[in-house]
Amino acid sequence: MDTYDLLTRNVDEVVTDEEVREVASDPDGKRVYVGYEPSGVLHLGHLLTANKLIDLQNAGMQVVILLADVHAYLNGKGTFEEIRETAEQMRAQFLAYGLEESQTEFVYGSSYQLEEDYVLDVHELELSTTLNRAQRAMAELQGDETAKVSHVVYPLMQALDIEYLDLDLAVGGMDQRKVHMLMREELPKLGYDARPCLHTPIVADLTTGEGKMSSSTGVTISMEDSMADLEEKVNSAFCPPTRDPEGDLENPVLELFEYHVFPRFERVLVERPDKYGGDLEYDGYEALAADLGSGKLHPADAKGTLASYLDELIAPGREKLREIRDE
């Protein structure tokens, strides 16, 4: 696989293709970032972007993970002491999951976001950005939550982070697209360069195949799940043997194979008794998806295999969480 293909595999959008190809032409030492608000135990949403970060490290890039403590404070997630304790747990989980420590820099937002230059640049963005534009970029509110001024400032800070962390590439889920587009529009007004972006997919709700997987609205899979938890959640997952003819529903079991399992394992073995056809082996996602669609691979066998491989991926992080909590 060439470098450009490695950088862009399993992404939904490349912004822009020309700029990302330029990064791919000489990736060694280039800096790529993802920002995470410290919010608890890592889940598959975090780990999908982490899989992409591992790809980028394999290409020679330096990963910067922003532990966004100021953002979390603005979002009402606790005191700075509480937020930083959570952030340190997240740091340990990312390294346990497989990020290379020598190629990973963890940065607290508070280490630079309270400095005079940064604060003045935030005010410059406030002057140059319309309220409607900032509102379009801010995160969706949950339930009956009322928008506050901090919610509007939040995406402006995210845009500035990309400049202040001295980055060559920004990565985020498709839910971060609006923030990245704001960055590309607004940073040049301050005399800074816009950066290219990679946007990773959002996995569908596990039980319905609709919307997105979310711990706040449905079932999600996290690093603290036991094998028994994984089996229960995966066995309850929506997994039709054929694609939805209307195209309205996704198959979250297939998505987890595509975005979580195959990027980390060279082959996938489905173990079955001889009376059910014996074992099946796959060295790529498309073959597994085709066999599920044709009926050669039963959904129950796909689910059992998925739970096993997910357990192997998250087990080191699960053990790290136990160690932290026992201290």
Q: Assess if residue 59 is contained within a domain.
A: yes
Can you give the three-state secondary structure of 128-167, one letter per residue? HCCHHHHHHHCCCCCCCCCCCHHHHHHHHHHHHHHHHCCC
Say what the pLDDT of residue 150 is.
Answer: 87
80 plus 151 within the same structural domain: yes
Q: Is 97 a member of any domain?
A: yes
Same domain, 69 and 172: yes
Whether residues 190 and 295 fall in one domain: no
131 and 82 in a single domain? The answer is yes
Q: How far apart are the first and last CA of the chain?
A: 43
Contacts of 195 (CB under 8 A, 6+ apart): 19, 162, 167, 168, 169, 170, 183, 184, 187
Answer yes or no: do 54 and 165 share one domain. Answer: yes
154, 253: one domain? no
Last residue of a domain, one of 137, 165, 200: 200
What is the domain count for the chain?
2
Is 62 known to sit in a ligand binding site?
no
- pLDDT tens digits for range 80-104: 999 999 999 999 999 999 999 999 9
- pLDDT value at residue 243: 61
Q: What is the pLDDT of residue 138?
A: 87
Q: Verify that 232 and 190 share a domain, yes or no.
A: no
Which of 161, 184, 200 delimits the end of a domain? 200
Residues 69/84, Cβ–Cβ less than 8 Å? yes
- Is residue 311 marked as binding? no
Same domain, 60 and 156: yes
Structural domain includes residue 215: no
Within a domain: residue 220? Answer: no
Does 207 fall in a domain? no
Q: Is 225 annotated as a binding residue?
A: no
The pLDDT assigned to 214 comes to 66
Q: Does 154 belong to an annotated binding site?
A: yes
Residue 178 within any structural domain of the chain: yes
Domain end residue (candidates: 153, 182, 200) = 200
Structural domain including 163 reads 3-200
Does residue 117 sit in the same domain as residue 237? no
Return the pLDDT at 248: 61
Together in a domain, 172 and 262: no
What is the pLDDT, as a whole number, of residue 188? 96
* 135 labelled ligand-binding: no
Average confidence (pLDDT) per 10 residues, the chain, 327 residues: 96 98 98 93 94 98 97 90 95 97 98 98 96 89 75 94 98 95 96 98 89 70 96 94 65 96 97 95 96 94 98 96 88
For the domain that residue 265 is a member of, what is the CATH number?
1.10.240.10
Question: Are 170 and 286 in the same domain?
Answer: no
Per-residue pLDDT at 327: 76
25 is in an annotated binding site: no
Question: What CATH number has the domain bearing residue 99?
Answer: 3.40.50.620
Q: Give the model confidence (pLDDT) of 259-311 as tens digits.
A: 999 999 999 999 999 999 999 999 999 999 999 999 999 999 999 999 999 99
Torsion of CA 151, 136, 50, 17, to 10 degrees: -150
**pLDDT reported for residue 208:** 87
CA–chain centroid gap for 297, Å, is 28
The reply to whether 96 and 177 lie within a common domain is yes
Residue 213 lies in a domain: no
With respect to residue 177, please indicate whether it lies within any of the assigned structural domains: yes
